Amino acid sequence: MEQQRYKVIIAEDDIHQVSLLRKYLEEMDLFVVSCVSSGIRLIEETKLHKPDIILLDIGLKKMDGITAFKEVLQSGVHPQIIFVTGSISPKHLLAGFEFESVDYITKPVNENRFKRAINKAKELIYAKKLIDAEVAEAINWVVLKQNYRDVTVAENQIIFVEKDKQYRNRYIVHLKDGTTVETSTHLKEIKEMCSPNLVYSHRSYLINILYITAIQPDGMFTKNYNVSLDYTSEKVPLTKKNYMDASDLFLKFRTQST
């Protein structure tokens, strides 16, 4: 595991308990960024410091620890949480479970159990960072020209791209969330920035084979096809010329994913 000083906030209104927890944390080379005694201060300090771990007592001043931690999560900060409290109320124990806390430690604090909980929290933080790094590395970003600026789109969000029928040098990128991006970046340039998952279905269309759900004959044009895709009700034309490439990749992907 990488060597890193994780940031911790202690939310505890008993100064003797704070001193004990701080001592244990310093022995483990963790960085205590703040100690608070009220739920309101916990919210403020969490937004400011964005800690990796919060040690949370339930019986805080002004606002209880559970209510305060709900506010913390709603603010978009998601630290690991270890309850350190005197409460054995079933309601509070359930809250510990619902918050997916690392541990629910009751006072008086057992040093060995506390340090095991801290080590577990560190492992969870490290594992999440590894996963996030792998996901970020796996994403292929596509840069699209739009007026006087560039718009960056993740390839895995692109369902299909079509040439605008009204404007000569405009292309429309259809995304998974239902939105579109208009761009002057040519289909050929977009394809060059993408993986082999984006293929021509027609000279005016690129499709993402990951989202193909069906390929069916076109009832109007002989030997042409229509492609159905996830996340859209639109049918994309597939010419005979491009049929083999698109269908082969589609079948290969389906085989690998089953």
pLDDT digits (tens, 9 = 90+) for 146-185: 888 899 999 999 999 999 999 889 999 999 999 999 999 9
Q: What is the C-alpha separation between 79 and 111, in angstroms, rounded?
A: 22
pLDDT above 50 for 132: yes
Place of tokens 């969330």: 177
> Could you give the dihedral angle defined by the CA atoms of residues 33, 39, 43 and 49, in that order, rounded to the nearest 10 degrees?
0
Q: What is the C-alpha separation between 133 and 130, in angstroms, rounded?
A: 5
pLDDT of residue 247: 65
Going from N- to C-terminal start, the domains of the chain cover 7-137, 141-257
Q: What global pTM score does this model have?
A: 0.56
pLDDT of residue 58: 94
CA of 70: how far to CAs of 62, 78, 108, 126, in Å? Answer: 15, 10, 25, 23
Write the pLDDT tens digit of every residue in 60-91.
999 999 999 999 988 878 899 999 998 888 88
Q: What would be the CATH architecture of the domain defined by 7-137?
A: 3-Layer(aba) Sandwich (3.40)
Q: What is the C-alpha separation between 122 and 97, in angstroms, rounded?
A: 19
pLDDT above 60 for 253: no
The larger pLDDT score, comparing residue 21 to residue 97, is at 21
Angle, vertex CA 159, rays to CA 142 and CA 255, nearest 5? 105
CATH class belonging to 141-257: mainly beta
Q: Tell me what the pLDDT averaged over the chain comes to.
A: 88
pLDDT above 90 for 137: no
Is 73 in a helix, a strand, or coil? helix
